[in-house]
Structure 1
Amino acid sequence: MNSEILVNVTPMETRVALVENGVAQEMFIERSQARGIVGNIYQGKVVRVLPGMQAAFVNIGLERAAFIHASDISGTTENVPGIAELVREGQTLLVQVVKDPIGNKGARLTTQFSVPSRYLVYMPGTEHVGVSQRIDGDEERERLKETVSRLHQELEIPQGGFILRTAAEGIGEAELRSDMAYLKRLWAALQEKTRGQKPPYIVYEDLPLFLRVARDMVRADVDKIRIDSRETHARTLEFVRKYNPEVEPVFEYYPGERPIFDLFGVEEELERALSRKVDLKSGGYLIFDQTEAMSTIDVNTGGYVGHRNLEETIFKTNLEAVATIVRQLRLRNLGGIIIIDFIDMADAEHRRQVLRMLEKTLERDHAKTKVTGVSELGLVEMTRKRTRESLEQVLTETCPACGGRGRMKTAQTVCYEIFREIMREERAYDNRSYMVLASQAVVDRLLDEESAAVADLEEFIGKPLKFQVESMYQTDQFDVVLL
């Protein structure tokens, strides 16, 4: 598979796109005024303990208090002690962010720390040595585990475990020794920083996005990493030469006049990823709806009629939809509960093949996913791990006109609301006349289609009605002014 990573840098934000076979698959955006905080370590203060929820709120210096569950303190999901036994209000608590604040929810915290380097993740709270599932071969996995266990003793690293990252495959002892020594020094420095300051304050901050690319995203299947900023390219090479010099040839400065995201079609893909409707090549289409509780995806045949019979048309459309759905999940970074409404398939074998195709395609997704079977109604329930905001949450905001509903009252509905409001005012007050302030669409309807009803209302109340267009009003906004 031909993979490239494109890094677009401006003073305001950094955008990173993972492109596979010429098509954008994943998108990462970090704005200078709103950097993600996953991985950051804070010295916080417990502000509220909630025994009924087995959780506590912790002030880590953000706008909203962060949330920690008892299991994220005890490190187990079985026989979890009561939260009141683990923390108390006013207590100082060292915590790490595992989920960014999303919507109205504060950040999610843990006291089970993990600090990454190029090849390893150091976990001070455990003795476990694990190996990335993406490293194949029992012999290589055992070699890596044995090497790390031996170096752990040689370097006299304090209590703690390690996870060998995918990048560690084939790496020799010298590189692992260097990484482990670095993590030992880093953790000692972090512990020193927790002494003598008043919480809340930050103890450790993860690298900026462009350096996380160099640390985390350089894999064997990545052919090029193109960076369109000379300064950022130079800083990245400085980092790479220090920690991972053998991958330096992968990095390339892009000096072209045409914006790098335009050249590779990423801007167009971004626009499509913000749309509800995604067209399929066959003529079918998908509808994406994202809510706070879950995301839903509806598959439709659209203009695709097939060449054989209806069942075959439905099966082909569902199969084609799978690849597009998985790519859009990654590109949009949809997480949590996801419901996919495939077109109903009568053939049980077709349902099995669609489900198998979905599971197989999801194997390329770096986020953890879990899929249930296809129901008789064609519904698939799945989950995808969510650690940061979706593309829609990062790039858009709730529509001020419809309040996020996606629907607005019709001009006709608003006209009838105006009539009812005038009747309420007439019963309560003694007025000479009324002035209605409304949008252009509503006033036009009042003077045209509803003119007979307006005349009847004027006759009924015995008073004239006046209308004025307010250009800033949305369709469902109006005021009735007493004259």
Structure 2
Amino acid sequence: AMQRVVWLDGGAYLLIEEVETMTVIDVNSGKTISVKEQKRTFDQINEAAAVEVMRQLRLRNISGMIAIDFLRGSSKGQTRVTQLLKERAALETKQIEVYGFTKMGLCELTRQRHGKSLQERSQESGQWTRLSVYRLIEPKLLEIATYAEAVVIRAPRHLLQDEFISRQPLEVHVLEGDPAVLFTGSSQDCLDFIKRSE
């Protein structure tokens, strides 16, 4: 939900950029496509992307002006994508206006604002929040747990709850500072690393 890149089936992906004034979403094919089937393939990717875009808007609680740069498919494909977005918008609890494609090929829509977006909630006056620390650290801990017994992380101690540390699938040691994974290995290796760091 917080990654810039969201992968679609088949290797295509969305690139989501939230800035203060609007959100821009770029649809990318992600791999070489034969020229013969290009428009048809782009239409298929765009339809899958339209469905995922609507899901990501809801998941991230993105609101305001949104511009989507779909792949250059056929005109029928554009019509189908616009229709698909409108159908999905009708199912949403927040009001979404789909304006369609501009002359530059960007699809424009707006989504009713209701509270802060997930990205906005992860930042507070430029300082780390609990949500932002967890989203940086937790996926990495799950990945590390496949090959290490323990890990040393750096994070603001007051933002890390005991419950968060205890529910991880590996032993976690914390040093004060900006969130980052510093060292992985056995429990003893991690304790030795902490001693060397002090």
Task: After superposition, give the CA deviation of every residue in 1:273-293 in whole Å (9 maximum; x if it has no partner).
Answer: 111110011210001111111
Answer yes or no: is 1:361 the counterpart of 2:107: no
Deviations 1:103-152 (A, max 9, x none): xxxxxxxxxxxxxxxxxxxxxxxxxxxxxxxxxxxxxxxxxxxxxxxxxx
Corresponding residue for 1:317? 45
Q: Structure 2 CA distance, aligned partners of 1:295 and 1:278?
A: 15
**Partner residue of 1:381?**
108
Structure number with higher helix proportion:
2
- TM-score by length of structure 1 reads 0.25
Q: What's the counterpart of residue 182 of structure 2?
A: none
Tell me whether 1:391 sits opposite 2:129 in the alignment: no
2:64 counterpart of 1:332: no
Give the superposition deviation at 1:377: 3.1
SS of residue in 1 equivalent to 2:93: coil
Give how far 1:348 is off. 1.7
> Could you say which residue in structure 2 is the equivalent of 1:283?
11
User: Does 1 or 2 have the higher relative contact order (CA < 8 Å, sep 6+)?
Assistant: 2
Q: Please, what is the CA RMSD of the aligned residues?
A: 2.2
Structure 2 residue identity aligned to 1:354: V
Check whether the contact 2:27–2:71 (CA below 8 A) recurs between aligned residues.
yes
Instruction: Report if aligned partners of 1:344, 1:377 keep a CA contact under 8 Å in 2.
Output: no
Residues 61-119 of structure 1, C-alpha deviations (whole Å, 9 max, x = no match): xxxxxxxxxxxxxxxxxxxxxxxxxxxxxxxxxxxxxxxxxxxxxxxxxxxxxxxxxxx
1:332 and 1:315, CA in 2 relative to 1: closer, same or farther beyond 3 A?
same
Q: CA deviation at 1:395?
A: 2.3
Quick one: which amino acid aligns to residue 359 of structure 1?
Answer: K
The AA in structure 1 aligned to 2:122 is L
Paired residues for 1:74-85 under 5 Å: none
Contact 1:282 1:304 in 2 (8 A): no
How far apart are 1:304 and its partner, in Å? 6.3
Name the aligned partner's letter for residue 352 of structure 1. Answer: T
Shift of 1:319: 0.6
What is the rounded CA distance, in whole Å, between the counterparts of 2:85 and 2:14 in structure 1?
15
- Within the alignment, does 1:296 sit opposite 2:24 as a pair? yes
User: How far is the alpha carbon of 1:324 from its aligned partner?
Assistant: 0.5
1:405 is aligned to none
In the alignment, the residues of structure 1 paired with residue 117 and residue 29 of structure 2 have an alpha-carbon distance, to the nearest angstrom, of 27
Deviations 1:296-320 (A, max 9, x none): 1010100263796111111111011
Give 3-state SS (helix, strand or coil) of 2:114's partner. Answer: coil
Q: Could you tell me whether the CA contact under 8 Å between 2:50 and 2:84 is conserved in 1?
A: yes
Identity %: 33
Q: What is the 5 A alignment of 1:263-278?
A: 273-278=1-6
Cα gap change, 1:304/1:279 in structure 2, threshold over 3 Å: closer, same or farther?
farther
Q: Secondary structure at the match of 1:309?
A: helix
Q: Tell me, which stretches of 5 or more residues in structure 1 are unaligned?
A: 1-272, 401-471, 473-483
- Matches of 1:306 and 1:356 in 2, distance apart? 27
Whole-angstrom CA distance in 1 between matches of 2:121 and 2:48: 28
- Counting only pairs closer than 5 Å after superposition, residues 42-441 of structure 1 correspond to structure 2 as 273-303=1-31, 305=33, 309-345=37-73, 347-396=74-123, 398=126
Q: Deviation string for 1:172-231 (max 9, x for gaps)?
A: xxxxxxxxxxxxxxxxxxxxxxxxxxxxxxxxxxxxxxxxxxxxxxxxxxxxxxxxxxxx
The question of whether the paired residues in 2 share the 8 Å contact of 1:372 and 1:382 is answered with yes
Q: Which amino acid aligns with 2:81?
A: V
Show the counterpart of 1:120: none
For the 8 Å contact 1:307–1:313, the answer to whether it is kept is no
Does the 8 Å contact 2:46/2:71 carry over to 1? yes
The gaps in structure 2 that reach 5 residues or longer are: 129-176, 178-198
SS of the residue aligned with 1:367? coil
Structure 2: which amino acid aligns with 1:343? L
Distance in 1 between residues matched to 2:49 and 2:32, nearest whole Å: 12
Name the aligned partner's letter for residue 112 of structure 2.
K
Rounded Cα–Cα distance in structure 2 between residues aligned with 1:399 and 1:332: 20
What is the TM-score with the length of structure 2 in the denominator?
0.59
Pair 306,279 (structure 1): closer, same or farther in 2 beyond 3 Å: farther
Q: 2:53 and 2:8 mapped to 1: Cα distance? A: 10
CA distance in 1, matches of 2:32, 2:111: 30
Q: Tell me which amino acid in the other structure corresponds to 1:350.
A: G
Are residues 280 and 399 of structure 1, via their aligned partners in 2, closer, same or farther at CA, if it must alter by over 3 Å?
Answer: farther
CA contact (8 A) 1:283 1:304 kept: no
Deviation above 6 Å: which 4+ runs of structure 1? none
